[in-house]
Structure 1
Amino acid sequence: MFQLNTTMRTITGTIRSTPLPWPPVLSNIPPPHIRQEAVTHKMLLKVKDSPHLPIHADIYNPPTAQLPSRRPIWKNTPPADFTIQLAWKTEWESKEVPNKHLVLDPNLQSHLGVDNAIIFLLNQAYTHLDKAASMVRVMFFDFSCAFNTIRPALLREKLTAMQKYSEDSAIVGCISSGEKTEYRATVQNFVTWCELNHLQLNVTKTKELLVDLRRKKTQGTPISIQGAPVDIVDDYKYLGVYLNNKLDWTKNSEAVYRKGQSRLFLLRRLRSFNICGTMLRMFYESVVASAIYFAVRFEGSRWQQTGWINKLVRKASDVVGVQLDSLTVVLERRMLSKVQAILDNDSHPLHEVLDRLRSTFSQRLLAPRCSTERHRKSFLPVSISLYNSSLKISDTPNQVQ
């Protein structure tokens, strides 16, 4: 481990850029409590300059020039006048969060990661687009300083009621026959909920993705939030994955390939320092493979650049010195593990969907109805097929006996 740390510091230039000896360098770093109090002082100044919060302007700000050196720049005990207005504080603590206005977000549930949110969003889109005269509109919201200007003591209970509300929030509108009333009402309810709970939306960074795969497409009317129209974009990066209005994965695959090349360069640099094969394999699994296989489950069998990724894997195999799993092997293994995790987790948003597809005669899952090839090659149908194949393989030895 010491060898790996030394090598990584050499790659990143830490050893060359750090002057020696070490004691004079460390003596210039202030103690942790002084650094923490300096950050707190900056936060207080930011709160004081925020006009959208009803906070007293007379925040205690001692003259820093009169303080001795290496002393805290503000007192440990804030004075009595550093308080939020009593009426606003009482309303904030006592007001319940209207959960009916919250968007269904798999990230807010326990033991679920960001990949579940993308899988749930794409399954809704693919299922709805199979119907005639249908389209999907997705609104991606962005908050400006959502929790930075509110005291943590007041925010703790509110965050618990909100289930640690994520900034990466999206509203999916499944529209049929041009009926957009319910979708617009849901967006307006969400905006109202943010205003009641003192969350400031950044309308300039809020984007909308319009997915219309019909031959005769209709031009979408932009939605206005707080008097400003929301931009309709062709693609958007949501939770680390590029989504576009055609639901293909060309841009995301290109981004993954570029990221994989940069990570492969670090792997080659490690080998140049005569690192053992075990450490190289560990570095590949944690740094390289995590980057190139992050979105492999979302695309199902629709991966556009399979040859590109397998080329990276072959180059990494030559560097590590062992045979590494190809994209197809990793894809099947991860999709199978994900569908098994969904079946075992009753709180997962897709658990009810898979539970309705259980066969009454065996442990197999019935294939969902798919009218288009894009839906047939998405995550859910492909993972169900792999799951049924794994059951067939596991039952073969018992039949032989």
Structure 2
Amino acid sequence: MIEKKDIALEKAVLIGIITKDQDEVQSKEYLDELEFLTHTAGGEVLKRFTQKMEMPNSKTFIGSGKMEDVRQFIEDNKVGTAIFDDELSAAQERNISKILNVKVLDRTNLILDIFAQRAQTSYARTQVELAQCEYLLPRLRGMWTHLERQKGGIGMRGPGETEIETDRRIVRDKIALLKAKIKTIDKQMAVQRGNRGKMVRVALVGYTNVGKSTLMNVISKSKVFAENKLFATLDTTVRKVVIQNLPFLLSDTVGFIRKLPTQLVDSFKSTLDEVREADLLLHVVDISHPNFEEHIASVNKILGEIKSSDKPTIMVFNKIDAYKQEPIDEDDLVTERTKANYSLEEWKSTWMNKIGNNALFISAINKSNLEDFKKRVYDEVREIHITRFPYNHFLYPDYNYEDME
């Protein structure tokens, strides 16, 4: 019997920039997230490189001096992959590849790779493949340039150009086929959603890795895959949930992320339709994350883009068990007290206080405050149900709502 060997992690370096629109603190946060993405994809980050710039270099993203530092480190440490925090143009990717002579990825490419690993159903794989093809199309020339450099330019120039045009046509045809396939599946899914009847639909939304799937498992008593990695959930899962005698449909959707590639928003249209057609959103937030407020803003931005920001929403602040308040020395009169020093009670008295009973604080993994959570969700779903079926409510106040399926 052959023993299974541990798969070696792919060595990588990360490259980001500090600009007037993205200060040093934000740059560090983005690179922290990029490192988590790299780990999720199966990579090991050996070093980070950052540079202060007015704007990215149009040819190589970073300056020539910093690029030489990156090249030297890659050569000295036998690194195989360079990952940039922002999306690179086809020309930038081509130029950087020539200098570094290693695999060059950007944030979009990395996220697409993770999605390709995580896609379980035929529909999710089709959506990912579409996004990958749309990302690949403008970069085909760079891929052939890389091939010509390996085999030599003489004798490759004419056929190379022919191959580029052939490949472009193949990719365009593939995109058309995938779009047609997705359109067909979209119609089927729309019929399925229609067949669910008049049951209230509730959708879990939120940043990636905030605990949506764990919460789904707890309240629906199902076994949706959950893991402490980004984009653990890719395929939308819908479960029937009953609280007291009131049934409703609960869907767990793909997590959002900052700088979410446009291709993914477009190709995952039907997945996001679960959010668009929901009657109630449960916006789950990892309150233990130091940048949870920025995560909320990123999710709200995407909800606005898909025209779902005006839906009834309950903010669910999860992972209260992991929340850590940074201590402050009371005798230190110089250090300014920041939000990192807030206790949970102090957070509740900030802007969260304006949300009122639509702000809930729970721990899905420890099942803390889940009864309060269930009661609040029950009240909201019941209100929607009464609006939808006023006749049954007023004539039969003790009616078993499960009979309405």
- In the superposition, the TM-score normalised over structure 2's length comes to 0.23
Rg comparison, structure with higher value: 1
**Higher strand content, 1 or 2:** 2
